[in-house]
Amino acid sequence: MKGIAYQKDPYGLGGESKGGSYSDPLSEEANCKRDIPIMREAGTNTIRAYSVNPDKDHDACMRLLQDAGIYVIADLSEPSQSINRADPQWTVDLFDRYKAVIDTLAQYDNTIGFFAGNEVTNNVSNTDASAFVKAAIRDSKQYIKDKGERWLGVGYAANDDSSIRELAAHYFNCGPAEETIDFWGYNLYSWCGDNSLSGSGYDKQVEFFSDYSVPVFLAEYGCNVPDGAEGRLWQDTTALYSDDMSDVFSGGIAYMYYQEENDYGLVEIDDDGKVSTMFNYEILSSRVAAATPSSTQASAYTPTNSAAACPSLASNWKVAADSLPPTPDRALCECVYDSLTCVPADGLDTESYGEIFGFICSEDSALCAAINSNTTEGVYGAYAACNDTQKLAVVMDAYYLDQDKAASACDHDGKARVRDDAPEAASSCEAKIESATKSASAGGGGASSTNGAGGDKESLGVVGHGVQTVSVFGRCAVGLYSVAAAGVGIVTIVL
């Protein structure tokens, strides 16, 4: 893989668009016609696109890339729809986004595969987010398989944090094959300035991944310290394709094509859209041209390494290895909502959600078990993937039933209503709710707290293993409740 990251990113390395806006580089035909020859001249055979809009037409760019012998690996998320490390969830809406990108790019022969997340867990404070990314990997792989597509890999791009990097690498590669990564992308920036294999720590990376059981490549590289983009010597490129590294690493993706405020660019674009290559582009091009890495034909690829054991719970790893969040199921969420009696009032402002969640869950945290997740215990609410309104209804109805259907228990200052006209659940809905109930019971939970599937507070649909629902969530100290901002539209329940 001789790659370049091809996406405009005015937010800097690892940055995110606070407004959620982004440009889709694979849909801009004029730019593709201008840029692809320049990348090809640099010896590029792969590009990474970070945000793809599935509603746009990608035929022209993908054809131009294929004609130039360039493959594509794409991230499945976009700025306003991604697994948020501050409040990680794997939801129905996000899964729909992932499926749409897969559908869009799977049709092109030069698509290699996808990243289900990029640096989502980036330090010890948010290792819990990895459970949701791994669930996304599992479900994306299954979706590709169910669609009958050719093989398309699904992987993860990790940052280089010394306190978690080995744990993360093993976590995403352990367990049943249907849940694990197909490749590991590593965003590595430790080779800065005039350096060496040992001085940069690259030799340690080679040593660690030498017995890794799936392909590994640098999903980003190209440190711009100390002299900015134009001071890059790209010695790491020469090392990457040398015998010292190419037996372990399958190449890498240089960051990045566009010169922007973050100062990582290879080319500059003037106000008229004209391109001028930078000095460090010339250096990178010469090093790629001189590279003669060892390689293996796909037909001869026979992996011999085995995945390591899953990491145990520790102070720097808060994820149980043997349980993942459930696959988001829109039909289940709609079914359970339709079965409830106490629901949010029509037109209720989402800003009011946090107040109601806070009141109910502080009254009895077990009432919120069906929508909560506990990665340390490996226990996940059966309805945690539903949208905010559906989750609020599940909690409201649980409280209403817990209070013996007292009129005041479904009022919340006029923010809730008792629905006398709840539709009769179709047999398919009853089956879905029953299935979720059984999954919860098998994992130590219970039936969902719906009119059609139990009604007491100890019957709260969760999936997990080896613990009872009420005892797990009853031990949680309930703290702050609020509706998350940052454009992701999700309820934050910090326990």
User: Do 105 and 144 touch, CB atoms closer than 8 A?
Assistant: no
Q: Which of 16, 41, 78, 220 is catalytic?
A: 220
User: Do 158 and 165 touch, CB atoms closer than 8 A?
Assistant: yes
86/388 Cα distance (integer angstroms): 17
365/92 Cα distance (integer angstroms): 24
What dihedral do alpha carbons 469, 475, 477, 482 form, nearest 10°? 0
Q: Which of 119, 149, 230, 430 is catalytic?
A: 119
What are 374's strand-pairing partners?
A: 379
Catalytic residue list contains 119: yes
**One-letter identity of residue 305:** N
Q: What is the 3-state secondary structure (H, E, C) of 426-441?
A: CHHHHHHHHHHHHHHH
359/469 Cα distance (integer angstroms): 20
Closest CA to 266 of 305, 212, 230: 230
Catalytic residue list contains 230: no
User: Do 177 and 212 touch, CB atoms closer than 8 A?
Assistant: no
* Residue-wise DSSP of 83-146: --TTS----HHHHHHHHHHHHHHHTSTTEEEEEEEESSS-SGGGTTHHHHHHHHHHHHHHHHHH
CA dihedral sign, ordered 303, 307, 308, 311: positive
SS3 231: helix
Residue appearing with tokens 């098998």: 442
Closest CA to 176 of 326, 374, 302, 324: 324
Alpha helices (H) in 29-91, listed in sequence order:
29-41, 59-67
84/121 Cα distance (integer angstroms): 9
Residue 448 backbone dihedrals phi, psi, to 5 degrees:
-75, 150
Closest CA to 258 of 2, 10, 1: 10
Start-to-end C-alpha separation, the chain: 43
Burial of 443 per CB tally in 10 Å (0-12, 13-18, 19+): buried
Catalytically active residues are 119, 220
